[in-house]
Structure 1
Amino acid sequence: MSTEKEGQGRPQERPVPAPPAVAPDEPAHPAASAPPVPPGAPVAGAPAPGVPAPPTAPLPALPGAPASAGPAGPPPADPPTGTFGGPVGPPAAPPDAPWAAFPTAGPPKKRRGGLIAAVLAATLLAGGVGGGVGYLVADRDGTVTSATASGAGEGTVARAPESVAGIAEAALPSVVTIEAQSTTEGGTGTGFVYDEDGHILTNNHVVASAADGGTLTVTFSDGASYEAEVVGRAEGYDVAVLRLLDAGDRDLQPLPVGDSDAVAVGDATIAIGAPFGLSGTVTTGIVSAKNRPVASSDGQGGNASYMSALQTDASINPGNSGGPLLNGDGEVIGVNSAIQSTPGSGMGQSQAGSIGLGFAIPINQAQRVAQDLIDSGQPVYAIIGASVEMRGDTPGARISENAPAGEEAVTPGGPAAGAGLRAGDVITRFGDRVIDSGPTLISEIWTYKPGDTVEVTYQRDGREHTAEIVLDQRVGDA
């Protein structure tokens, strides 16, 4: 079944008002770090109330196994400014709405996120480990262990290949549970075989806690486990690529990749992951919406991530982060990354669960980012070279008139400057997409590639203007 990729498709859809705080899909264990916001373009202002502050305030992303969630702190006194046209810098303050994050081993960390204007704040679905939806199953003695999902196996009744059972049987051997462990925390998330060279695609927040000096263990549905290393991470996109170590002659079967731009609302979806550590869990639903602007972060002061996501009602929970969202043909159309949850929902006060609002990074975008990481180890972000306010009363993304010290709202010689944009202009449309806020603009810009030419509609002194911008690039998250 065909599905459409969120963030890559450009339907003329106006983002809906920000819903309640969303809980990130975190790893099975607590403590998954949230995806950072790519630096490169300053963004000014802060998100609307109840929404995580964009480039300047961390936004939650789907965590893996459950992590403890907590109410977000109050919004920053002064709206932060982030560079637009390039990855946004780390949020200055946590989101206004509470976010539930799934921590890795060790004390669970809180993740927060919110919808900004029409931007949905989603909670990272990381469980125990830095990312991925699903929690590790805790033994009575308090230790955490990962349960290998059974899915289709010996003794199962044969089903038609095109049925959900048939698709699950074919896909499960290529979906893995990821355990990330650092000296202070750990957690569990999900990933899937990307190619025959041993690369595994997952969320950045699933592996962030173990990216520097920690350990990563990848377990297949047959129980076989391998150590892995990080090939590259993209905080702003919340994408990471791992490489299996000593996989020997294991026959790796990459999951077939679909076209997220061809997705339609109502198309069937199948999500596979390790929610709360229950590896190999399969759930079904439909594509509920596409091109949904979502901002997320761990609420720990890390950079925020932005995506024009595929929304699904397939049940995904902490620990599902990084797992595949399949279409009716068994092809990957998205990478599960975040969920929206009601305040106070989840296990205790630290976990949020599915209420039918899940968000996935469109596979067309995730695949492009993954290839950059494999080729160079660094993410590449499209930028316009302007700082925009992340909060504001005027619909649209206003170019800041008060850029960070030492910087200019519109970078001299940059894309925005070349198109004639100035401080105070309000961008209302980017390509075919209606823009209602700074975060929505960031999410949309990152669906393009550097070098793309995009028509921009903006208002100045009450009059509407149009111009064409040739996007520049920023390499890396630093």
Structure 2
Amino acid sequence: MDDGKPTGPNEHDQSVGSAAEPPPPVDRPPGRPQPRHEPDPYSTPPYGGPGPWAPAPPVQRPVPTPAGGTPVPGPAPEFGAPQPPPSQWMNYDPWAARQVPPAPVGRRRRRGGVVAAVLLALVTGVVGGGVGAYIERNDGIAPNVKLPQAAGEAPGRAPDSVAGIAASALPSVVTLHVKGSSEQGTGTGFVLDREGHILTNNHVVAPADGSGEISVTFSGGEVAKAVVVGKDSGYDLAVVKVTGVSGLKPLPLGNSDNVQVGDPVVAIGAPFDLSNTVTSGIISAKGRPITAGGEKGDGSDVSYVDALQTDAPINPGNSGGPLVDSHARVIGINSAIRAADSGTSPTGAQSGSIGLGFAIPINQGKRVAEELINTGKATHPVIGVTLDMQFTGDGARVGDKAKDGGPAVAGDGPGAEAGILAGDIITAVDGARVHSGEELIVKIRAHRPGDRLELTVNRSGREVAVVLTLGSASGT
């Protein structure tokens, strides 16, 4: 049976000393050169002869060629040179001098990768379009948005800050709702003592007119009825009282004589019935003479105030509320504003703040409040003369006669005792200039009955200084 192996003697069985038959020639493919043997100097004379240790001819390795091509023989690579992959050696037939090209790989994988990429792009587009449509339907707000925010902090503030002042003063401030037979209004007040006395403006309680109702709402929302203890139109101040209310917190009183222009202040009230409203500003001026009221035409309800001016916003409804300093102490009672179209008027008038607010100094308010609580009436300091309110010159001129036709200088009044005469023009009070009769009344009302004043008088072109002690008259 021919198994493809050479037949005959065993080509590997050669006896020593016997002349072995040379192996039969091997058929080689046409064109393949016969391998050549280089002479070995150690196997030729004089070093030796032919033997089994002659170096083998160089092994011919196939050079990879494109599929279907004929490999080009070449020398074996040097030691350490990269070897062809095992697959090439397995496919190499040294007798046929051919190499089976490896099957192409990766084509199916690349086709599958492209399909996956296309599917991923489609899914991404569908998801992105859905998210965009959702955001558009929800006014541009993406779902589950988390925005940065400051952490919580303690609610306390420095006592002299606006927030600290407001926190201290608000429990003592109340809102008044007044209803009368023909009108009603809203104002502000603040607690004077634990007995329930509350200080406010006269024009706030005026609509009640003795038969109306006054309702007091505290900062915490508790409501109580109030009654008028006393009021005075000349000072534009009134005191009302509530009963059956526990836990009242009086607001401490400051000293308006210590106030300086530029000092920070806080106004608290219920402008346009917005209770517990806090505004802030500074003292813009001191001793600002203002008059307010006078609707009756007889001058009996005109308020004369030597006021503190502030730029803290004050509006209708702030009337009667406290103007407090940096220690949350009352230094004034908010009473009037300067409106762009209505002049100086009580804040009950329907006009807005333009940064010109006026408050009754608390020193004056304290004295009047004490008198109203103790007697139900307030006293007015007077000099015992009748002024010519039609005088247009500089200063306050003493009239020629009183309204009832009597003498302009009362015979038993302080003015007569000091030597003031009819026709004298008073130009200063304690060195402070006065320019009109209203200013003189304001300066006088800023003092108490019994105070001594020095007046500068222009009498027939000559200045005369007179000293008098203020008298007392009952207010209305």
Counterpart in the other structure of 2:198? 200
State whether residues 192 and 324 of structure 1, in contact with CA within 8 Å, keep that contact through their aligned partners in structure 2: yes
Q: Distance in 2 between matches of 1:307 and 1:257?
A: 19
1:9-33 deviation per Cα after TM superposition (whole angstroms, max 9, x unaligned):
xxxxxxxxxxxxxxxxxxxxxxxxx
**Alpha-carbon separation, structure 2, partners of 1:329 and 1:405:** 49
- Match for residue 258 of structure 1 among 242, 254, 257: 254
Partner of 2:334: 336
8 A Cα contact 1:182 1:214, kept in partner: yes
Q: CA deviation at 1:402?
A: 3.7
Structure 1 match to 2:172: 174
Which residue type is aligned with residue 172 of structure 2?
A: S
Paired residues of 1:211 and 1:230 also in contact (CA < 8 A): no
| Deviation of 1:208 (Å) | 1.1
Residue 253 of structure 2 is aligned to residue 268 of structure 1: no
Alignment equivalent of 1:279, drawn from 269, 275, 291: 275
CA deviation after TM superposition for structure 1 residue 191, in Å: 0.1
Instruction: Provide the C-alpha distance between the structure 2 equivalents of 1:439 and 1:308, rounded to a whole number of angstroms.
Output: 10
Is the CA contact 1:176–1:190 (under 8 Å) kept in the aligned structure 2? yes
Moved more, 421-430 or 403-412: 403-412
Asked if residue 160 in structure 1 is aligned to residue 158 in structure 2, the reply is yes
Structure 1 stretches of 4+ moved >4 Å: none
| Distance in 2, Cα, partners of 1:298 & 1:438 | 15
Q: CA deviation at 1:221?
A: 1.0
1:224 corresponding residue in structure 2: 222
Counterpart pick for 2:313 among 312, 315, 320: 315
State the distance in 1 between where 2:350 and 2:226 align.
Answer: 27
Per-residue Cα deviation, 1:39-88 (whole angstroms, up to 9, x for no partner): xxxxxxxxxxxxxxxxxxxxxxxxxxxxxxxxxxxxxxxxxxxxxxxxxx
Distance in 2 between residues matched to 1:205 and 1:161, nearest whole Å: 33
Indicate the structure with greater helix content: 2
Q: Which amino acid aligns with 1:273?
A: G
Separation of aligned partners in 2, 1:211 and 1:363: 25
2:372 is paired with a residue of what secondary structure?
helix
Contact 2:431–2:456 at 8 Å: present in 1 too?
no
The answer for the alignment partner of 1:453 in structure 2 is 452
Q: Distance in 1 between matches of 2:418 and 2:375?
A: 31
The more displaced of 324-333 and 398-407 is 398-407
Q: Which residue of 1 aligns with 2:394?
A: 395
Q: Is the 8 A contact 1:334 1:362 kept in 2?
A: yes
Q: Is the 8 A contact 2:268 2:276 kept in 1?
A: yes
Deviation at 1:405, TM superposition (A): 3.0
What CA distance in whole angstroms lies between the structure 2 residues aligned with 1:254 and 1:432?
Answer: 37
Deviations 1:184-219 (A, max 9, x none): 211100000011111000000000111411111100
Describe the superposition over 1:210-255 as per-residue Cα deviations: whole angstroms up to 9, x where unpaired: 14111111000111000001000011000100110332xx111111
Query: What's the counterpart of residue 242 of structure 2?
Result: 244
Q: Is the 8 A contact 2:304 2:442 kept in 1?
A: yes
Contact 2:397 2:423 in 1 (8 A): yes
CA distance in 1, matches of 2:208, 2:169: 27
Counterpart position of 2:290: 294
Alpha-carbon distance between aligned partners in 2 of 1:218 and 1:205, rounded to the nearest angstrom? 16
CA contact (8 A) 1:227 1:246 kept: no
* Cα shift at 1:389: 1.6
Q: Which amino acid aligns with 1:234?
A: D
Equivalent position SS for 1:388: coil
- On the 8 A contact 1:391/1:437 being kept in 2, the answer is no
**What do residues 447-477 of structure 1 show as CA deviations (whole Å, max 9, x unaligned)?**
1111111111101110000011111101232
**Aligned partner of 1:186 among 177, 184, 187:** 184
The 1:156–1:236 alpha-carbon spacing in structure 2 relative to 1, beyond 3 Å, is: farther
Deviation at 1:158, TM superposition (A): 2.4
Matched pairs, number: 318
User: 1:407, CA displacement in angstroms?
Assistant: 2.4
Per the alignment, residue 372 of structure 1 pairs with: 371
Give 1:403 deviation, angstroms.
Answer: 2.6
Alignment-derived partner of residue 476 in structure 1: 475
SS at match of 1:340: strand
Map of 1:407 onto structure 2: 406
Q: In structure 2, what is the Cα distance between the partners aligned to 1:453 and 1:343? A: 39
Instruction: Name the amino acid aligned to 2:289.
Output: P
Deviations, residues 362-410 of structure 1 (Å, cap 9, x unaligned):
0000000000001100111101000112232321000011432332200
**Over aligned residues, Cα RMSD in angstroms?**
1.7
Q: Gaps spanning 5+ residues in structure 2: where?
A: 1-152
C-alpha displacement at 1:156, in angstroms? 8.5
Provide structure 1 residue ranges, at least 5 long, that are not aligned to the other structure: 1-154
Q: 2: distance between equivalents of 1:177 and 1:235?
A: 20
Q: Identity over the aligned pairs, expressed in percent?
A: 51
TM-score (norm 2): 0.65
1:402-461, Cα deviation, whole Å (9 max, x unpaired): 432332200012110111111100000112321111000000101111111111110111
- After TM superposition, the structure 1 stretch with the greater mean CA deviation from structure 2, 155-164 or 465-474, is 155-164
CA contact (8 A) 1:426 1:458 kept: yes
TM-score using structure 1 length: 0.65
- Higher RCO structure, 1 or 2 (CA under 8 Å, sep 6+): 1
What letter matches 2:330 in structure 1? V
